[in-house]
Amino acid sequence: MSFKEKVIYQIYPKSFNDTDHDGIGDLNGIREKLPYLRELGIDMVWLNPVYPSPQKDNGYDISDYLAIDPLFGTMEEFEALIKEGKEYQIEFMLDMVLNHVSIEHEWFQKALAGDKYYQDFFYIRDEPTDWVSKFGGNAWAPFGETGKYYLHLYDITQADLNWRNPVVREELFKVVRFWMEKGVKGFRFDVINVIGKDEVLKDNPVDDGKPEYTDKPITHDYLKWLNQETFGRDPEIITVGEMSATTVENCILYTEPNRHELTMTFNFHHLKVDYENGDKWTTPAFDFEELKRLFHTWGEEMSKGNGWNAWFLNNHDQPRALNRFVSVENYRKQGAEMLATLIHLNRGTPYIYMGEEIGMIDPAFTSMNDYVDIESKNAYQMLVEKGLSEQEAFRRIQAKSRDNSRTPMQWTNEKHAGFTEGTPWLKVSASYPEINVEAAKNEKEQSIFAYYQRLIQLRKTHLVISEGDYQAYAPEHPQVYAFLRSYRDEKLLVLTNFYEKTTKIDLPEEFVEGKRLIDNYSDTVISKELTLKPYQAIALLVK
Ligand code: NOJ
């Protein structure tokens, strides 16, 4: 099967399914749910980091790349998961956090103890630059008692690795090969477009939202070498790069197949349309015009340049998309299906974040004590220091915290949503009595889950979905996002109404007799001037 027909499901292991009752999800918990994932129809599971880690940034602070954190299980259990996955035709993608390590990693500890060989693994400087950490504050911290500073673009406990050093690169290549030998068929490379730093580090020239170290030309070389030395040796392997503040031009370069860098890229521009002046901790209504413009630009440009997008609206770093884009009180189901349609019928690989397939929503936490995430805690402090009332600061955290999507998966309406028999590490969302897998199963064909099943199967049965080009349709429509896909003699028109207000849209003549491939309403009458109901999504096919 071409990778373009595959759908990837993201599991946040801490929150998926706990079998040893410690309140934290585990590998055996994932194994137990393989039949569920098969039923949904996905092909690959991306696991957020499961390596030993002090968990300051929930596993993105790795202290050993070549082992499994006992929190999640053992290496034997990991191997069993891969093996059993095969029986269900499910492959695994691991998270490779190669930009930084935890300061508890042996390399950093040795560097700190004075070992010059390991000091060259990091960016240690006498004079820091003006760079700020992505989690707030200075990106440089004192390097022990030396009077020098080490670079951490993320948390102070996440030290950036010096990719200029060939020994570092070789060590990291070994890590990727180690997991390839375990049968891993996918890699998600964390913030990989910031690994390439200059020898002489410079201050940020202007604050244009794209810091100095982003998308440096050398990063493309590093990715080519990484490809050559590791996953490029196995044509079945799928890779995705997480790209921070990137450009479409760079993403074409990262993914154009003849360049042998990565299979696809994640970018985040479309999830910043509810940021005021680029500031995440604000809560304006989302800017639909901008969202549409971004989808069209990335769709058309990547299509023309032969690049490949990874498409998603939810992940472990984002609040739930339903709360951001949909009037969730009244239209949770229609909204969830509309958003899923535009992701799954787009040109690129669709990602489903656990719980999205049953329409999970933000948890509505009531106190700052409910939050665990380091970024949310820092942001709260910062907002209060900036002069916001505690109430207002909290309201913003409630809307934007990453913990919104990290709450335990909702399996049943029993205690802790059937996630654990212990005490969950993060509170379960208050919505679990109504929103859970069991309830979805009871709704049968009417469920959001069943709609996802249909979308996943469509990608496997229609080349126009997996292979077709992308073209914007009616880009000026005030409430519809629409696009055309075409492949050989097939054409697909996808229409999504982003609002609860009914609207009309003109169909191209040829689609009036088109076949309804999917529709989240059952009584649609197709006509030249088509009426779209609240959050309606419909795809029409012509040959
Ligand atoms: C991106 C990851 O998705 C996020 O969760 C993490 O905090 C940062 N990279 C740093 O590794």
**Is 140 contained in some domain?**
yes
Q: How far is the CA of 153 from the centre of ligand 1 (A)?
A: 11
Sign, CA dihedral 303-305-308-309, equals negative
Q: Are residues 254 and 211 in the same domain?
A: yes
| Segments of 157-261 assigned E as strands | 158-160, 186-189, 238-242
**Is 83 contained in some domain?**
yes
Domains identified in the chain, total number = 3
**Is 463 contained in some domain?**
no
Exposed, middle or buried, 321 (CB in 10 Å: 0-12/13-18/19+)?
Answer: buried
Residue 135 beta carbon below 6 angstroms from any ligand 1 atom: no
Q: Are residues 176 and 231 in the same domain?
A: yes
**How would you write the pLDDT of the chain (543 residues) with one tens digit per residue?**
999 999 999 999 999 999 999 999 999 999 999 999 999 999 999 999 999 999 999 999 999 999 999 999 999 999 999 999 999 999 999 999 999 999 999 999 999 999 999 999 999 999 999 999 998 899 999 999 999 999 999 999 999 999 999 999 999 999 999 999 999 999 999 999 999 999 899 998 776 678 889 999 999 999 999 999 999 999 999 999 999 999 999 999 999 999 999 999 999 999 999 999 999 999 999 999 999 999 999 999 999 999 999 999 999 999 999 999 999 999 999 999 999 999 999 999 999 999 999 999 999 999 999 999 999 999 999 999 999 999 999 999 999 999 999 999 999 999 999 999 999 999 999 999 999 999 999 999 999 999 999 999 999 999 999 999 999 999 999 999 999 999 999 999 999 999 999 999 999 999 999 999 999 999 999 999 999 999 999 999 999
Closest ligand 1 atom to Cα of 60: 11
Q: Contact 358/115 with Cβ under 8 angstroms?
A: no
**Pocket residue to mutate for ligand 1, from 11, 53, 60, most atoms within 8 A of Cβ:** 60
Question: Which residue owns the Cα nearest ligand 1 atom 2?
Answer: 190
Q: How far is the CA of 272 from the centre of ligand 1 (A)?
A: 16
Helix H or strand E segment including 29:
helix 27-32
Q: How far is the CA of 535 from the centre of ligand 1 (A)?
A: 32
Q: Are residues 440 and 537 in the same domain?
A: no
Q: Phi first, then psi: what are they for 221, rounded to 5°? A: -65, -45
Q: How far apart are CA 159 and CA 44, in angstroms?
A: 30
Q: Are residues 311 and 378 in the same domain?
A: yes
Q: Contact 347/467 with Cβ under 8 angstroms?
A: no
Q: How far is the CA of 501 from the centre of ligand 1 (A)?
A: 37
Three-state SS across 464-492? HHHCCEEEEECCCCCCEEEEEEEECCEEE
For strand 124-125 and strand 149-151, is the pairing parallel, antiparallel, or unpaired?
antiparallel
Closest ligand 1 atom to Cα of 154: 10
Closest ligand 1 atom to Cα of 317: 5
Q: How far is the CA of 393 from the centre of ligand 1 (A)?
A: 23
Q: Are residues 146 and 291 in the same domain?
A: no
Closest ligand 1 atom to Cα of 61: 11
Q: Return the pLDDT at 193.
A: 98
Q: Contact 19/32 with Cβ under 8 angstroms?
A: yes
Give the tokens for residue 92.
């695994």
Q: How far apart are CA 494 and CA 13, in angstroms?
A: 34
**Pocket residue to mutate for ligand 1, from 57, 160, 376, most atoms within 8 A of Cβ:** 57
Taking only the tens place, the pLDDT of each residue in 1-45 is 999 999 999 999 999 999 999 999 999 999 999 999 999 999 999
Buried b (16+ CB within 10 A) or exposed e, 263-290: bbbbbebbbbbbbeeeeebeeeebebee
**Is 252 contained in some domain?**
yes
Give helix 217-229 / helix 166-181 axis angle, nearest 10°: 40
**Is 417 contained in some domain?**
yes
Q: Return the pLDDT at 210.
A: 80
**Is 464 contained in some domain?**
no
Number of neighbours of residue 297 by Cβ within 10 angstroms: 14
Q: Which domain holds residue 134?
A: 106-151
Residues involved in catalysis: 190, 242
**Pocket residue to mutate for ligand 1, from 12, 151, 154, 316, most atoms within 8 A of Cβ:** 154
Residue 160 beta carbon below 6 angstroms from any ligand 1 atom: no
**Is 416 contained in some domain?**
yes
Q: How far is the CA of 61 from the centre of ligand 1 (A)?
A: 9
Exposed, middle or buried, 302 (CB in 10 Å: 0-12/13-18/19+)?
Answer: buried
Q: Are residues 136 and 178 in the same domain?
A: no
Q: Are residues 399 and 504 in the same domain?
A: no
Q: What share of the chain is helix, strand, coil (3-state, %, to 5)?
A: 35, 15, 45
Q: How far is the CA of 59 from the centre of ligand 1 (A)?
A: 9
Closest ligand 1 atom to Cα of 97: 11
Q: How far is the CA of 57 from the centre of ligand 1 (A)?
A: 8
Q: How far apart are CA 357 and CA 435, in angstroms?
A: 11
Give the tokens for residue 164.
């200029």
Q: Contact 532/502 with Cβ under 8 angstroms?
A: yes
Q: Contact 214/250 with Cβ under 8 angstroms?
A: no
Number of neighbours of residue 122 by Cβ within 10 angstroms: 24
Q: Are residues 478 and 405 in the same domain?
A: no
CA angle 13, 17, 22 (to 5 degrees): 90
Residue 46 beta carbon below 6 angstroms from any ligand 1 atom: no
Beta bridge partners of 138: 132
**Is 438 contained in some domain?**
yes
Closest ligand 1 atom to Cα of 99: 11
Residue 12 beta carbon below 6 angstroms from any ligand 1 atom: no
Domain boundary among 151, 179, 207: 151
**Rounded to 10 degrees, what is the CA torsion of 447, 453, 459, 461?**
-110
Give the tokens for residue 222.
């590093």
Domain boundary among 134, 151, 168: 151
Residue 154 beta carbon below 6 angstroms from any ligand 1 atom: yes
Q: Are residues 256 and 351 in the same domain?
A: yes
Question: Which residue owns the Cα nearest ligand 1 atom 5?
Answer: 317
Number of neighbours of residue 104 by Cβ within 10 angstroms: 16
Q: Return the pLDDT at 207.
A: 65
Residue 155 beta carbon below 6 angstroms from any ligand 1 atom: no
Residue 61 beta carbon below 6 angstroms from any ligand 1 atom: no
Q: How far apart are CA 28 and CA 189, in angstroms?
A: 24
Q: Are residues 13 and 41 in the same domain?
A: yes
Q: How far apart are CA 232 and CA 450, in angstroms?
A: 36
Nearest to 475 by CA among 275, 273, 288, 326: 288
Domain boundary among 457, 486, 503: 457
Residue 97 beta carbon below 6 angstroms from any ligand 1 atom: yes
Q: Are residues 66 and 137 in the same domain?
A: no
Taking only the tens place, the pLDDT of each residue in 45-79 is 999 999 999 999 999 999 999 999 999 999 999 99
Diameter of the chain by CA atoms? 75
Sign, CA dihedral 273-458-521-447, equals negative
Q: Are residues 145 and 27 in the same domain?
A: no
CATH number at residue 89: 3.20.20.80
Q: How far apart are CA 459 and CA 454, in angstroms?
A: 9
Q: Return the pLDDT at 205.
A: 77
CATH number at residue 517: 2.60.40.1180
Answer left, alpha or beta for residue 538, where phi above 0 means left and psi between -120 and 50 means alpha. beta
